[in-house]
Amino acid sequence: MVTLPGPTTRINVMSFSAAPRRGALSVIELLVLAACIAAAAIVTNRHAADVMIQTFLWGGLALAWNIAGGYTGLISFGHAAFFGIGAYTSTILLLRYGISPWIGLAAGALMAASAGALLTTVCARLRGPFFILSTLAMGEVTRITALNGQSLTGGAEGLEIAPVASVANMVFIGKAPYLALILVYTLTLYALSVWIERSRYGFYLFATRDDDDAAAAIGINPIAMRISAMTLSAALTAIGGTLFAQYFLYLDPTHIISPDISFKFALICAVGGLGTAIGPILGALIIVPASELLRSLLSQSSSGLHLVIYGIIVTVVILYFPSGISGGIARVSSALSRMFVDEKKRT
Partner 1 sequence: MLTLEAVGRQFGPLWAVQDVSFTVRRGEIVGIIGPNGAGKSTLFNLIAGAVAPSAGDIRFLDHRITGAKPYHVARLGLARTFQIPKPFKQLSVHENVMLSALRRHRTPHRSNPVTARTMELVGIAHVADQLAANLTVGLLKKLEMARALATEPSLLLLDEVMAGLTPSEITEMMTVIESLPQHGTTVLWVEHVMRAIMTVAQRLVVLHRGRIIAEGSPAEVSANAAVIKAYLGESYVHATR
Q: Binder to partner 1 among 45, 211, 316, 338 (CB under 8 A)?
A: 211
11 counts as binding partner 1 under rule CB under 8 A: yes
What three-state secondary structure class fits 171?
strand
Distance CA 208, CA 201 (A): 11
125 counts as binding partner 1 under rule CB under 8 A: no
Q: By CB under 8 A, what part of segment 220-239 binds partner 1?
A: 220-222
Q: Which is nearer to partner 1, 241 or 275 (CB)?
A: 275
Distance CA 205, CA 87 (A): 28
What three-state secondary structure class fits 157?
helix
Phi, psi values for residue 53, rounded to 5°: -60, -45
C-alpha dihedral over 303, 315, 71, 89, to 10 degrees?
10
Q: Binder to partner 1 among 9, 44, 301, 347 (CB under 8 A)?
A: 9
Handedness of CA 184, 185, 188, 190 (dihedral sign): negative
Q: Binder to partner 1 among 99, 192, 216, 313 (CB under 8 A)?
A: 216
65 counts as binding partner 1 under rule CB under 8 A: no
H-only helix segments in 174-323: 176-198, 200-210, 212-217, 222-248, 253-256, 259-272, 279-298, 305-320
Q: By CB under 8 A, what part of segment 252-281 binds partner 1?
A: 275
From the list 51-59, 80-88, 172-180, 195-203, the region that binds partner 1 by CB under 8 A is: 195-203
From the list 10-18, 31-39, 158-166, 252-260, the region that binds partner 1 by CB under 8 A is: 10-18
From the list 43-51, 89-97, 162-170, 192-200, the region that binds partner 1 by CB under 8 A is: 192-200
Cα angle vertex 125, ends 124, 130, to 5°?
100
From the list 125-133, 178-186, 212-220, 241-249, the region that binds partner 1 by CB under 8 A is: 212-220
Distance CA 47, CA 163 (A): 19
Q: Which residues bind partner 1 (CB under 8 A)?
A: 1-11, 13-14, 198-200, 203-204, 206-207, 209-211, 213-222, 275
